[in-house]
Copies of this chain bind each other. A is one copy, B any other.
């Protein structure tokens, strides 16, 4: 009984997150009003403020879940087909992310335009988001990077993800300087060079 209460409570919060996500995607963060969110979530206005401080608060929530999920999915997808070559593993991860954004242009637009990757990264690594940390741990222990300090490995991965995000945004959204499919071989060549010992 008590559980059903808490469950119901979580349902409300979830429906607010879902509604926000849909609206942020379709209208953009700035152009979405809290009015619209609560209407779509079928919840009273006050309920919004019961769970979130303001619009940015939901956004943060969404970004963390999303980034975490994409990264983890990319990692486990790579694991399945891994050849054991570290460089190719990294490229597999990047490729997964690129393909995800290709299929979800609106997500990409949202992630890049109204908030930025780095902010999210910061949160991911700091917080209790354990899964992502586990990925990182595995990288630290990879024999291929044995000579590098953990700090350097982190920087390396950070730069690659940044680069990947930047290029995704410009080429998928603006097709600048070319389509993402034309950029891919180019980008992977660069990543290989970066990771080359």
Residues of A within 8 A of B (CB): 30, 112-113, 116, 118-119, 121-122, 151-152, 154-155, 158-159, 162-163, 165-167, 169-170, 173-174, 176-178, 183, 186-187, 190, 193-194, 196
Contacts and interface: CB of A to CB of B under 8 A. Distances in A.
Contact of A116 (B112, B119, B122, B167): B112
Contacts of A173: 118
25 contacts: A30-B30, A112-B116, A113-B116, A118-B169, A118-B173, A118-B174, A118-B176, A119-B174, A121-B170, A152-B186, A155-B177, A155-B186, A158-B170, A158-B176, A158-B177, A159-B163, A159-B167, A159-B186, A162-B170, A163-B163, A190-B194, A193-B193, A193-B194, A193-B196, A194-B194
A162 B163 contact: yes
Contacts of A183: 155
Contacts of A118: 166, 169-170, 173-174, 176
Nearest to A157: B177
Contacts of A187: 159
A167 B174 contact: no
Contacts of A121: 170, 176
Contact of A166 (B166, B194, B196): B166
A165 B162 CA distance: 10
Nearest to A186: B155
A159 B190 contact: yes
Given A116-B170, A162-B163, 6 more contacts: A113-B116, A119-B174, A155-B178, A158-B177, A163-B163, A193-B196
A151 B177 CA distance: 9
